[in-house]
A = this chain, B = another copy of it.
Amino acid sequence: MRVRDFSRPTTLNPDRLFGQVAQKLAVAIISGTFKAGELLPNEADLKSEISVSRTAYREAVKYLTAKGLVEARPKSGTRVAPRDGWNLLDPDVLSWHFEADPNEKFIRDLFELRSFVEPSAARLAALRRTPADLARIQAGYHGMIDNPPYAEATIRADLAFHEAILAAAQNSTLQCLASVVSATIQWSLLLKSGDDQGFYVTSLFDHERVLDAIIQRDGDLAAARMSALVTDSLNTTLTFLAWAGQQNTPKIA
């Protein structure tokens, strides 16, 4: 399931060697290749898998430790942490999920969280937006309608639209959830690519209505419309997930 990831820059640098190792390990953990037990014998993996120095390996492990994926203890080895210890909201962790098979439960959870947060964020954005904020939001919207459906530029504009709304809410912690919103958007676009155009025009209309409410500075309206947008997005995504679930073996965690 290797797919294009349009996430805003994560903290991990894939150019660096340790970054590649971290990514490789992380994807293996998230995919379930490594369960929640003991894992990779340090030196063995070091020498065999990819010839990499202990330094690079250890720094990769530290990176994963910081995100709660693994926990290393002096004697028992480096274990994969239980899933409820992972920082699922971390941009890197979210991004790594795109490299693994879609986890329906997880995607539903993300949408659910988004449905709690983003309408409220839209309300605040309508009330607190600065002229610069509004310009960013409008730029995102225009980027969506000025580009062909499902084009990379369109997706980027979509993400920019939602990020701009979160930024306009003037709440630093809400901005940290931008990666959650980005992730759900990307999942929905990815999963329903090649689908009919009905969903697409609906989505555009939903965005326009949100933008309109924010322009009017109508908080409640913005929240309601953003709520509708998220619901629509979720429904189309679920439609595909249900369809895909019937196709092959439904391996839902």
Using CB atoms, name the residue of chain B closest to A124: B112
B contact residues around A92 at 8 Å (CB): 66
- A62, A106, A110, A174: residue with the most chain B Cβ atoms closer than 10 Å: A62
B contact residues around A177 at 8 Å (CB): 89, 113
A59 at the interface (CB under 8 A from B): yes
- Which A84-131 residues have a C-beta within 8 angstroms of B? 84-92, 105-106, 109-110, 112-113, 116-117, 120-121, 124
Count of A interface residues, CB-CB < 8 Å:
43
- A66, A67, A71: residue with the most chain B Cβ atoms closer than 10 Å: A66
Contact: A112 with B173, CB < 8 Å? yes
A64 to B68, CA, bound (A): 13
Contact: A120 with B109, CB < 8 Å? no
Protomer copies: 2
A171 at the interface (CB under 8 A from B): yes
Contact: B173 with A89, CB < 8 Å? yes
B contact residues around A173 at 8 Å (CB): 88-89, 106, 109-110, 112-113, 180
A89 to B68, CA, bound (A): 13
Interface pairs (26), CB distance under 8 Å:
A11-B71, A11-B85, A12-B66, A55-B55, A59-B62, A62-B66, A63-B63, A63-B65, A63-B66, A87-B87, A87-B176, A89-B89, A90-B90, A106-B172, A109-B171, A109-B172, A109-B173, A109-B174, A112-B124, A112-B174, A113-B117, A113-B173, A113-B174, A116-B116, A116-B120, A116-B121
Residues of A bordering B, CB below 8 Å: 11-12, 18, 55, 58-59, 62-68, 71, 83-92, 105-106, 109-110, 112-113, 116-117, 120-121, 124, 171-177, 180
